[in-house]
Structure 1
Amino acid sequence: MSNTPVIAAVDGSEHSLRALEWARKEAVRHDCGLLVAHVLPDHAQLYAGRRASLHDASEPQEIPDPVRDWVRSLLGADGPGLPEGVAYEALEGSVPEALRVIGSRARMLVMGSRGRGGFASLLLGSSSRAVASTAACPVVVVPHAERGAADTDADADADADAEQSAGRVVVGLHAAETPEDVLTFAFTEAAVRGTTVQVVSAYAIPPSPTLVIDSPFAVIPPEGLADEGDGVPAEREMLRSQTERLAPLRERFPDVPVEQAAVPGDPAGRLVIASRAAALVVVGRHHPRRTAMSLAIGSVAHAVLHHAHGPVAVVPTLKDDV
């Protein structure tokens, strides 16, 4: 078993429950431990500070933490402990900073799209956005149930577990700019799931009355990239750039099937469309021209986090680590 855990950030909300379930399955896939982290609310942190400053022996030694009991019951723990391979840690400080610090030792950090106290109209909470913008490890944001079902008919709803195991991993690629860390993460996730990587690149074209932006895009295998064909020049050049950029990944992950898609339109919009049938969408965090200390998340990652219909992994590059 790997010593680098998957961390699930929880607060007792329904949104964090979905994140916990996703993280637990991810830990099994990677044969690693699961660390469940809860940032204590302000009143609990004040209590802990009072107890420490007064050194009052009559005060309970353990800080009340109902979320810990909630986690134990959800994971089916017997007795006071947690199941084997699962640990729990109560954190102090602000939510973004506490999770950023603990994420420095994680394989990935998984959290819900919004937690307790968030406005119902918000698709992405401020804490989720801040952690995805600053953590040194990949951050997976699992959307709330309403988002996943927003644009699908009831008859088309699929079982969530089947979708997670069978759906492809989608990664956005700008052949000249996407860091290697992003592609490696996507291929690794596809490998542990036994599924396909779909690589999506978007190109701008002049507006046309016949272009339907929301139409399904074509997926072309590498062997289909012959010198002749009906594809527009921008599409064919992008597919060739993809093929060249993906060659080292194909060698490293020979058992992972790859689909390539070069599509017209906005990159974020195309990734959101692809997210409807994906187990996971992978995006890079920062625009490559930003400095390593920049806290602003890239525009594509920001848009996908707000609108995707399934889990989104935001992957930093090594130069972003602080």
Structure 2
Amino acid sequence: MCADNSLVVGIHGSESSARALRWAVREARQRHRAVRAVMVWSRHAVLSGPGPLLMNPELAPHHLHEQYRRELSRTVHACVGDQLPPGLRMELMEGRTVDVLSALSAEAAMLVLGGGHHHRGINPTTGHVVGGCLRHARCPVVIVPHDVEFAPDEQERASGPASTHDPVLG
């Protein structure tokens, strides 16, 4: 089915992606799988004038890459602490988020994304990335809802929070 059988988690610095990462780390521990915490970035420097004048130097690709790398590291360490669990890799990749995550899903056991706010019983409006991944992913996609509560179990007390609500089974 899958070449690397890891759990791929889309990270973008929000609380919902942090919640997805916490859920995936717990799930990976139970399934004896690796976790790939993936943040996708794209170059979007603004150029102006007759020559290559950069209007916003902080948007230069090398600055953006470093900003995204720091954000990925900050998000992951905020979720799991200073010591990364075995099998957790942080990856910063360039491209369109839906395209990158969908491509990675071809070799993943599952793709894990954070879900936004919605009311139970009403079909949630999915964002562009979630909707695109649901359409194009080649593995199961788990959307961790915004209202998942985390409480540490015995094994996780030292390593971080755990979900008491399974987003798949309820």
Normalising by structure 2, what TM-score? 0.66
SS of the equivalent of 1:97 reads helix
Q: By how many angstroms is 1:64 displaced?
A: 2.7
**CA RMSD between the two structures:** 2.9
2:60 aligned residue: 47
Q: Deviations over 1:251-285 (max 9, x none)?
A: xxxxxxxxxxxxxxxxxxxxxxxxxxxx525xxxx
Measured in 1, the distance between the counterparts of 2:67 and 2:164 equals: 37
Q: Given the alignment, which residue of 81, 103, 109 partners 1:107?
A: 109
Q: Deviations over 1:136-194 (max 9, x none)?
A: 1111111222xx79xxxxxxxxxx83343xxxxxxxxxxxxxxxxxxxxxxxxxxxxxx
1:280 aligned residue: 168
1:140 aligned residue: 142
Q: Structure 1 residues 162 and 83 mapped into 2: Cα distance closer, same or farther (>3 Å)?
A: closer
Q: Deviations over 1:96-130 (max 9, x none)?
A: 10111111111000001249xxxxxx642121011
Task: Identify unmatched segments of 5+ residues in structure 1.
Answer: 52-59, 116-121, 150-159, 165-278, 282-309, 311-322
Contact 2:4 2:108 in 1 (8 A): no
Q: How does 1:28-177 map to 2 (within 5 A)?
A: 28-40=29-41, 42-43=43-44, 47-48=60-61, 51=62, 63-65=66-68, 66-78=71-83, 82-114=84-116, 123-145=125-147, 161-164=163-166
1:5 aligned residue: 6
Contact 1:111 1:141 in 2 (8 A): yes
Measured in 2, the distance between the counterparts of 1:4 and 1:47 equals: 35
Contact 1:3 1:32 in 2 (8 A): no
More RCO (CA 8 Å, sep 6+)? 2
Measured in 1, the distance between the counterparts of 2:102 and 2:35 equals: 17
Q: Structure 1 residues 163 and 69 mapped into 2: Cα distance closer, same or farther (>3 Å)?
A: closer
Q: By how many angstroms is 1:70 displaced?
A: 2.1
SS of the equivalent of 2:26 reads helix
Q: Deviations over 1:199-240 (max 9, x none)?
A: xxxxxxxxxxxxxxxxxxxxxxxxxxxxxxxxxxxxxxxxxx
Asked which structure has the greater CA Rg, the reply is: 1
Normalising by structure 1, what TM-score? 0.37
SS of the equivalent of 1:63 reads helix
Contact 1:104 1:135 in 2 (8 A): yes
Measured in 1, the distance between the counterparts of 2:40 and 2:21 equals: 15
SS of the equivalent of 2:34 reads strand
Percent identity of paired positions between Structure 1 and Structure 2: 30
Query: What letter corresponds to residue 70 of structure 1 in structure 2?
Result: T
Q: Which has the higher helix share?
A: 1
Say how many residue pairs are matched: 134
SS of the equivalent of 1:137 reads coil
Measured in 1, the distance between the counterparts of 2:33 and 2:97 equals: 24
